[in-house]
Chain A
Amino acid sequence: MSGGANFQVTVFEVTPVNDLITRFSFVRSDGGELPRFSGGAHTVVEMHDEGKRRLNPYSLMSDPADTRAYSISVRRDDAGRGGSLFMHRQVKPGMEMTISAPVNLFALDLRARKHLMIAGGIGITPFMAQIRQLSMMGGRFELHYAARSPDLAAYADTLLAAHPGRVRTYFDEQGQKIDLEALLDGQPLGTHLYVCGPKGLMNWVLETATQLGWPREAVHSEEFLAPPSGKPFEVRLAASNKSVTVDEHQSLLEAIEEAGVDAPYLCRGGACGQCETRVLEHEGTLIHNDHWLTEEQRASGERIMPCVSRFEGRTLVLDR
C-alpha cells in the first residue's frame, strides 16, 4: 500500500489504564526488532472491522530506544467512527495486526534549551516517548498535564514519581487550570513549546503563545483529526476512470482505496500533506477539514485532502 513500510505484529499485552484508556503493546510476529524512533512519532494501525478497513494513527508512547515492543494508548470514543471501539472490544493478546513504520510529525526541536510541554487528556502519549528521549539525552523539560480527574489522568502517577519537580497536573473537576499566561511569560530564552490534546486546549495555548509574541518556529503542536462523518457523496476518479460513493462514516480516502485505487497517504489525519489531490471539477462545496492547505489553496477550489475532507454538491471530479 502507498503508506510505506509496514510490520506484521502480534498484540503482546492489552492493559486497561482507566475507564476510557487502554494500552496496547505490539511485538514483531517474526520475532525481529522494531526500528528505533524519535519521541513524538506515530504509527498507523490497520484494522479490519466487519469488512471495513480502517487505518488510524496513534502516537508511540514506549521508550524510543526499545526495539522489542511498541506501545500505544487508545481512548475509547463511543461517538466516533468505530476505530477506538474496535481497538477496545476486538483487539486481544495474540492477535496479529499490521502497523506502519514510525513517522514523526511532532519531533522535538533539539536546539531547544528547554522543552515546555502541555498535554491534555490522551494528548499525553507523544510526550511519554519524548520524555524518555530527553531523559536519555539529559535534556531539560517541564510537563503541564491537564485532565478531567485524577482517575482519567493516565500515567500521571508514573510521571510524577519518575520526574519530581518537572511534572505538574491540573484536574478540571477540582477547578484547577493552567495559569497559561504566567507560564508562557516566565520561560527562559531558547524554550520551545509543545502542545497536544483536545482542540479547545490546543487553540487556547496556540493563541495565547501568539499573543505573547512567541516565535512561530518555537511552538509545536500535533492534532490528529478523525475523519468527520457527513452526508454521503459521489466522486469521479478521472485518472482511474471510476466512480465511487463515499458513505456517511467513511472518509474520501477510504472510499478511494475501497475502489482499488492506490492513493498516497501518510498520517491520515490532515496533517502531513501527502494525500493532497487535484480537484479537476466541482459543482458544490468542498468541506476542508485538514491542517494542511492554506486559505488561498482552499479558496481556489483546486486541491483537497481526501483523508479528512468531504464534499457536498452535485459533481466532484478528482485527478486520481
Chain B
Amino acid sequence: MTIVFKEESFRDDFTYSNSDWAIQRFPFPFDKDSYMYSVNMERHVPVQAGSVFEAAFDVDEHYVSEMRDRALVLAEDPLRCQSLPHMTLAGWDVLELIMTSKAADYPEHFELHRDGDTWRWINRPLGIDQSFTFLDETTLPYGPLEYITRQAQGDFAVLDQRDDNLWMDAGMVTTQADWSLDFDIGMNFFEWHAPVPKAHEMGIFQRALQYLLNIRQGEPARRLNWTMTVNPLLDTSPENYHKWGVMRGELTPENIGQKLHLRVELQTFYRLPRSNGLLFPIRCYLISLQDLVTVPKWGRRLHRVIRDLPEELATYKGFIDNRPLILEYLSKYDDGAPTSPGIFPD
C-alpha cells in the first residue's frame, strides 16, 4: 500500500492530526472496561491486515513529519541518542533488522541491496540513497544506531544482556513519556523501573524480566502501554518539562476534546543476533479524545477505565488533576451499553 505522508507539526502550532484511516487503525490499548498492570506480552506476529500490528516496524502517514521532529530534538540535545562503547555491534544488529524489515514490509518506499558487506539503502519518503560497508562505521554519516533510528518512528532502547539482567546501554529517545535516556543510561531493568508505583510489590518486574531474558531470535514479543498527553507532543521528556508541563493546566471543557490525547506505546522486543542484546522499540501513537470517541466502543470504554483507575496510577500517569474534566467530557459518550471484548472497533 502506498502511504500518503502528511506535513504536520508536533510543537508550536500543533498541526498534527489523524486521518480516518489512522483513527481506524489506532492501537487502542484496553481490551476490557478496566485496567491494571500485567505482563501483557504476546508474540509480535502480524494480526488484522492494515493494523499497526501488521509490519515489524509500522510506518504510517506521520513518518516524514515525525522524523523531522526527531532531527529538531537532536539538534537541540544530542544526548537523546547515546551508545556505550560495547554497544556498537548491537547498533549494527538494529540497523540490519530495521532495514531488512522495512524493505520487506514496504517495498514501494524502502529498498535494501546487499552484496556481501557492500550495502545500498534507499529510503524514498526521506529522499535517502546511501551506499555503505556493513560493520564499517566510517562509511555512514552517524553511528549505525543513530543512522537508522533517524529513519524509524518511535524510540529505541538497546539493552545489553548480562548477569541475568538487562542494561540500558544504548538508545534513541526523543518521543518519550517523561523518562530520560541520559538519566537511565547504564542502569539495569530494576533501576530504570524504580519510579513505577505498585508494580514492584506485585512482582510484575521480576516476571517481566524473566520473560524478556528468554526472548529468542526470530520470536519478537509486544505489549501496549498508555498515558495521556495535552497537545500532540512527541517530546514529553523530563529535559523539556518546563515547556510541556504547564500545558497540562490549559485544558478547559471547551478545548479538551481537541487538546487532550490518549498516548499509546506499542512496545516490541527483539533478540539481536550478533550481540545477543535486546532491542526495545517504543512506538508512540497519539489520538485526540474527539477523534477517539468517533469509535463508540472506545469512547465508552475509555470513560470506564479512567473513572475506575486507582489514584496512584492516575498520579503516575500525570492526569490526576485533570481527571474530573476528562470524565465530564467522556461521560457524554458512555451510554452504559456493554462493550465487546478485544481492542478493535466493532
Interface string of A7-49 (1 = CB under 8 A from B): 0000000000000000000000000000111101100000000
User: What distance in Å separates the Cβ of A216 from its nearest Cβ neighbour in chain B?
Assistant: 8
The interface residues of chain B, by DSSP majority, are classed as: loop
Q: Is the CB of B216 within 8 A of A103?
A: yes
Q: Is the CB of B218 within 8 A of A101?
A: yes
User: What distance in Å separates the Cβ of B83 from its nearest Cβ neighbour in chain A?
Assistant: 12
Q: Is the CB of A101 within 8 A of B86?
A: no
Q: Which of A36, A137, A272 is close to B214, meaning CB atoms less than 8 Å apart? A: A272
User: What distance in Å separates the Cβ of A259 from its nearest Cβ neighbour in chain B?
Assistant: 24
Give chain B residues whose Cβ lies under 8 Å from the Cβ of A102. Answer: 217, 273
CB of B163 within 8 Å of the partner chain:
yes
Q: Is the CB of A4 within 8 A of B273?
A: no
User: What distance in Å separates the Cβ of B209 from its nearest Cβ neighbour in chain A?
Assistant: 11
Q: Is the CB of B276 within 8 A of A5?
A: no
CB of B274 within 8 Å of the partner chain:
yes
CB of B219 within 8 Å of the partner chain:
yes
User: What distance in Å separates the Cβ of B179 from its nearest Cβ neighbour in chain A?
Assistant: 24
User: What distance in Å separates the Cβ of B170 from its nearest Cβ neighbour in chain A?
Assistant: 11
B interface size (C-beta, 8 A) = 20
Interface string of B81-95 (1 = CB under 8 A from A): 000111101000000
Contact size class for A? 20 to 34
Interface string of B125-148 (1 = CB under 8 A from A): 000000000010000000000000
Q: Is the CB of A107 within 8 A of B162?
A: yes
A137 to B216, CA, bound (A): 23
A64 to B275, CA, bound (A): 11
Q: Is the CB of A41 within 8 A of B162?
A: no
What is the chain B residue whose CB lies nearest that of A137?
Answer: B89
Q: Is the CB of B219 within 8 A of A4?
A: yes
Q: Is the CB of B217 within 8 A of A101?
A: yes
Q: Is the CB of B218 within 8 A of A107?
A: no
**Taking each of A41, A109, A110, A137, which has the highest tally of chain B beta carbons within 10 Å of its own beta carbon?**
A110
Can you spell out 17 A-B residue pairs with CB atoms less than 8 angstroms apart? A4-B219, A5-B218, A35-B218, A36-B273, A37-B273, A38-B273, A38-B274, A102-B217, A104-B276, A110-B86, A110-B160, A110-B275, A111-B85, A111-B160, A217-B162, A266-B214, A272-B214
A-B pairs with lowest CB-CB distance, top 7: A110-B86, A38-B276, A36-B273, A107-B276, A111-B86, A104-B276, A5-B218
Q: A: which residues have CB within 8 A of B?
A: 4-5, 35-38, 40-41, 64-65, 101-104, 107, 109-111, 133, 136-137, 216-217, 266, 272-274
